[in-house]
Structure 1
Amino acid sequence: MVQERPKRVERRLSAILAADVAGYSRLMHNDEEATHVELTALVTDAVVPAIVEHGGRIVKNTGDGFLAEFTSSVEAVRAAVQFQTRIKQLTINEDEERRIAFRVGINVGDVIVEPHDIFGDGVNIAARLEGIADPGGICISSSAYDQVWGKIEVDFADLGDQNLKNIARPVRAYAVARDKFGSTAKGSRTTPILPRAPRLSMVVLPFANIGGNPEQDYFVDGVTESLTTDLSRIRGLFVIGRHTAFSYKGKSIDLKQIGRELDVLYVLEGSVQRSANQLRVNVQFVDAESGAHLWADRFDKPICDLFELQDEIVSRLANALNAQLIAAEARRSEHSLHPSALDLYFQGMARWNKGVTPAHMAQARSFFERALELDPDNVEALVGIGAVDVTRAGFFLADNPDALFAAAEAALNKAMSLAPQHALAHAFLGSVLLCTKRAIEGIAECEHALELNPNLAEAHAFIGCAQAFSGRAEETEAHVHKAMRLSPRDEGTYRWMTWVGFSKLLLGADAEAVVWFRRGLNSNPNNPIAHLDLAAALAHLGKLDEARASRNKALALNPTLTIRRLKGIPFSDDPTFREQGRRVIQGMRLAGVPEE
């Protein structure tokens, strides 16, 4: 007898809204029929229209309340605000003892779906949050808050981590601010609650002029002001204006206090010291909530043209800080019980930065996909998808490069339709174009990205790579040097150095190619194609044992690398590139790279 396969449990990610009537038993005891009639009328006149209008559905009624499900946390909160406001209007003239008021909890979670009910921790958390809301109030989890913040005209108060009954881990909770419904949450009448600082928010404090030479003040202040301006260009980063920041100049203030006063998560402070013909800049990046130092660095530069020097220092700091912000937010996100789209984006970027192996790229794409499930129009996740797909194709990590290039182009075009000025989206679209026999268009796209963000080092590196595909491999190195000058500690330098090595290999400068490949691999060894290109260069130099060792490292990281796969992406029809590319394949054959 054939055993039936178990029925698959249906699950989906939902925004769950749980509501009940505060003091329902008391109201029913005092006047059972009147309470029932009024509750029915309020649900019919206020609750149901709001839920339907915002795309939700009432899953079930619970006697004194109901459970509703939405596909969007933004719409769930909007619906709750709408019906809570309407109920307050309808009951405002009633005695407080007889007034019906709902408490509402909202959470985002993965739920088990049955025809007339939903189950799971996501539902339980919503119900527990409803229990800590005041009558007439709305309380939401951090997973919902991170998605709605900045998207609806409602202020929230941070209730901190809450230990909810029968929920193993604390849940960070937020309540609609007091002025919206007259209350926030239990206990809030006596304890003022400060709102949590927005994600990706910081202040650049005025840099200190070490030595006190007043003639140096203009330069030090210029570094602070320019850095504030350049950091403001980072999409999604909220930076306190320079006039406010300069009100702290010369004052000794606790950084956690500054974080609370300005409502920011991060603080950047630094100093500038001049001695003879040398300039030293020290910087510290601090978590304003904990006071922990997340990153510190020092820049020593010879003094030449002060304004040119200021631009270089500022661009390097802006690029380095962008990477540090991603790393810091990825660490925060790892501890999130219910990650938001933003949490998942940062975790995806953290995997992307680990290296171009099949595993890392698959993990990064998975995080970006999950972010898009929560927010289909998340621009950063779309750019992440595009970056992963063009990299998987361009670094020979998959059997279907044409499909991946097409998918990358579609994701990046969608991102730019939502955010036309997104510099990194333009740069990665340029990389797609240069990998698909459209190098000239790719260079133009990267140049446009640099018009939008002159500090975008990646765009310079892409232009360098495009020169190799255009038969001008001798020009690659200069463009990569521009990228590395802007962002010498960039997570992407290992890729950029590989492209210089590749250009040297095309030109027959095998010894120089070996130096560049090894520099890139010292920066990040998780780059199988760099190991393979290094093997080709070593083979041309007659160092066959070293070449085979490098080939083995490449195949350990990506066992699918073969001559056939490498020849499967033409990249360019330029005759010079095609001729130069033959010696690369020849070197790989000498190193023993398998044909199939």
Structure 2
Amino acid sequence: MERRLAAVLAADMVGYSRLMEFDEPGTLARLRTHRIELIDPSIEKNRGTIIKTTGDGMLVEFPSACDAVACAVEVQNRMFRRNSDVPLDQRIQFRIGINLGDIVFQDGDIFGSGVNVAARLEQKADAGDVLISGAVHDQVSSLMDLQFHDLGDLSLKNLAQAVRTYRVALDTPVGGEPVPADEVGATKVVKPSIAVLPFENMSGDPEQEFFVDGLTEDLLTELSRRHELFVISRNSSFVYKGQAVNVRDVADKLGVQYIVEGSVRKAGNRLRVTVQLIDSQNDAHVWAEKYDRDLDDIFNIQDEVTAAVVATLPGRIEASQQEGLKRKKPSNFAAYECVLAAKVLHHRSTRQDNVEATKLIDRAIELDPDYAHAHAWSGCIRGQAWGYGWCHDRDEMLKLCEAAILKAASLDDNDSDVHRLMAAVEILRGNLARARYHQERALSLNPNYDLVVVQMGELLTWSGRPEEGAEWIQKAMRLNPHFPVRFWSHLGKARFANRDYAQAVDDFAHLPAMDITQHAFVAACHGWLGNEVAARQHVTAIFETDPKFALDDLVVTLHYGRDADLQHLLDGLKKAGLS
């Protein structure tokens, strides 16, 4: 038996039995996700040790009160953000109690009045609360930048003496609904705002009404997954159902820049869906498309059209915004505009463009430190610099990349870009299994996002499944007809790994210019094909780009999960005269 001073955190999930009765598999899956992504990493980061868990709670020991409170605050604040778009009766919420006292440690468990006080404080807490004892408050009040509400001396169950108790003030209203934007003032991030008006049923068939409304609602739901857009809710846009409207008037009333409108017409066994995107500021048609389909399975048509529109619209909006940026000076950029311009430079994949993208993304974060999407892209841009070796200190650059992505995750766990980039970091570390987890989370958050889809292809290629990888990359190209040119490089690498050398050479040929890595893959293709002259040309190009090039510089940027796949590339380079 060992006795020592320690901080004890007791946590419990609110309404566990009700949620399990309502949806047992879903509740368990979501709870497991929160544990893997948020709770356990926060405990580890703050030096905590999980003593025991129950189905709906846990007991954790920390070496200091500050560590325990930091962990609790991070978990509760991030859980509030995770729950922001979840119906109130389906939210997973926790209550937490923390005490500092003399604890008995025995056989992997902890005992004593210090533990009991933490457990009783947790029972007194409301959903989303963190309650701490006076002993904890005495330790942390002068050391942590937090506010505390004095609840006085509380009588706790089965404890003879009342306990001085404080509630930690968190970033958001405890256990409540998200605060409406008009109540918290103007945001620093001016995202493109968009409203989807109810599509018009032109079929003369009232039975098609359910399809038309379903298509509109699906578009709203899927567009809302894109965290770089501000999408007006269904309740606001459906006010205009069945009305002849003036687009500019509607945009003014809803406070949006872009309007999506469309129509559905049925003729025999054919269905035509027309969609158009209008910029209300200049009454210009930014984009329009028609989708003609056989009426065999109306629900599949609905899914297909929704996926196509949602994949294309954000790109068209970005293109429209970029035209506006050309007319502005960088000093006038708002945070969103800085991110947008940084993305454009990032996709060019050159060293100088990466430097400029870094400056812009840092400016965005300076303008709005809480802009999760900016932190996510800061990690992406710095990850590109790491991957291509465009930095003096690769270890330091990787640390900056990881720190940016973790910051983004702490601000918004429901952004598909965040999980896409967390997967990318795990790929850089060579942890492909962990990368697959975050990659699938990104896909579940936004299955029509071309950057998420193309990275699934990359991951499969690194994992030894290049044929599937090529299929995912081609899917990304179909989703976004204006895809970044680097997609061809990903496809070429997948085709090379699949021993489809001639097709890989054709894929790389779509690049306007090739870097050292791409020259190496093309040289290896020609090496395996026996094209000695072409192979030598690309080897020469490598050394013209970097006279000090060494094969190890290339290998460190590759992430093959199987030694045989790496050896396959090295053998091809040897045949090309590079070893």
Distance 2:297 2:262 in 1: 21
Equivalent AA in structure 1 for residue 570 of structure 2: R
Residues 357 and 557 of structure 1 are in contact (CA less than 8 Å); yes or no, is this contact kept in structure 2? no
Aligned residue runs from structure 1 range 177-576, under 5 A: 199-275=191-267, 278-334=270-326, 335=328, 338-353=332-347, 355-398=348-391, 400-484=393-477, 487-489=479-481, 491-492=483-484, 494-518=485-509, 521=511, 529-530=517-518, 532-544=520-532, 563-572=551-560, 574-576=562-564
Deviates more, 1:294-303 or 1:363-372: 294-303
Residues 447 and 453 of structure 2 are in contact (CA less than 8 Å); yes or no, is this contact kept in structure 1? no
Deviation digits for residues 372-421 of structure 1 (CA, Å, limit 9, x no counterpart): 22233321221111111222333454564444333212210111011122
Distance 1:377 1:557 in 2: 40
How far apart are residue 314 of structure 1 and its match? 1.1
Deviation digits for residues 266-325 of structure 1 (CA, Å, limit 9, x no counterpart): 111223344555544332211112112222333444554322232222122112222223
How far apart are residue 252 of structure 1 and its match? 3.5
Classify 1:306/1:385 alpha carbon distance in 2 versus 1 (closer, same or farther; 3 Å).
same
Distance 2:186 2:376 in 1: 30
Equivalent AA in structure 2 for residue 422 of structure 1: D
**What secondary structure does 1:247 align onto?**
helix
Distance 1:453 1:369 in 2: 26
Residues 426 and 432 of structure 2 are in contact (CA less than 8 Å); yes or no, is this contact kept in structure 1? yes
**What secondary structure does 1:235 align onto?**
coil
Q: Structure 2, unaligned stretches of length 5 or more?
A: 1-179
**What secondary structure does 1:586 align onto?**
helix
How far apart are residue 434 of structure 1 and its match? 1.3
Residues 375 and 405 of structure 2 are in contact (CA less than 8 Å); yes or no, is this contact kept in structure 1? yes
How far apart are residue 364 of structure 1 and its match? 1.5
Classify 1:562/1:324 alpha carbon distance in 2 versus 1 (closer, same or farther; 3 Å).
farther
Q: Structure 1, unaligned stretches of length 5 or more?
A: 1-148, 157-196
Question: So what's the TM-score if we normalise by structure 2?
Answer: 0.61
| Identity, % of aligned positions | 28
Deviation digits for residues 151-194 of structure 1 (CA, Å, limit 9, x no counterpart): 974579xxxxxxxxxxxxxxxxxxxxxxxxxxxxxxxxxxxxxx
Classify 1:359/1:420 alpha carbon distance in 2 versus 1 (closer, same or farther; 3 Å).
same
Aligned pairs, how many?
Answer: 398
Aligned residue runs from structure 1 range 147-162, under 5 A: 153-154=184-185
**What secondary structure does 2:240 align onto?**
coil
Counterpart of 1:578 (choices 562, 566, 571) is: 566
Deviation digits for residues 92-145 of structure 1 (CA, Å, limit 9, x no counterpart): xxxxxxxxxxxxxxxxxxxxxxxxxxxxxxxxxxxxxxxxxxxxxxxxxxxxxx
Distance 1:211 1:545 in 2: 62
Bigger Rg, structure 1 or 2: 1
Distance 1:380 1:560 in 2: 37
Residues 347 and 367 of structure 1 are in contact (CA less than 8 Å); yes or no, is this contact kept in structure 2? yes
Distance 2:286 2:539 in 1: 38
Question: So what's the TM-score if we normalise by structure 1?
Answer: 0.59
How far apart are residue 241 of structure 1 and its match? 2.5
Distance 1:529 1:341 in 2: 33
Distance 1:479 1:414 in 2: 29
Distance 2:480 2:254 in 1: 31
Distance 1:583 1:394 in 2: 22
Distance 1:349 1:464 in 2: 21
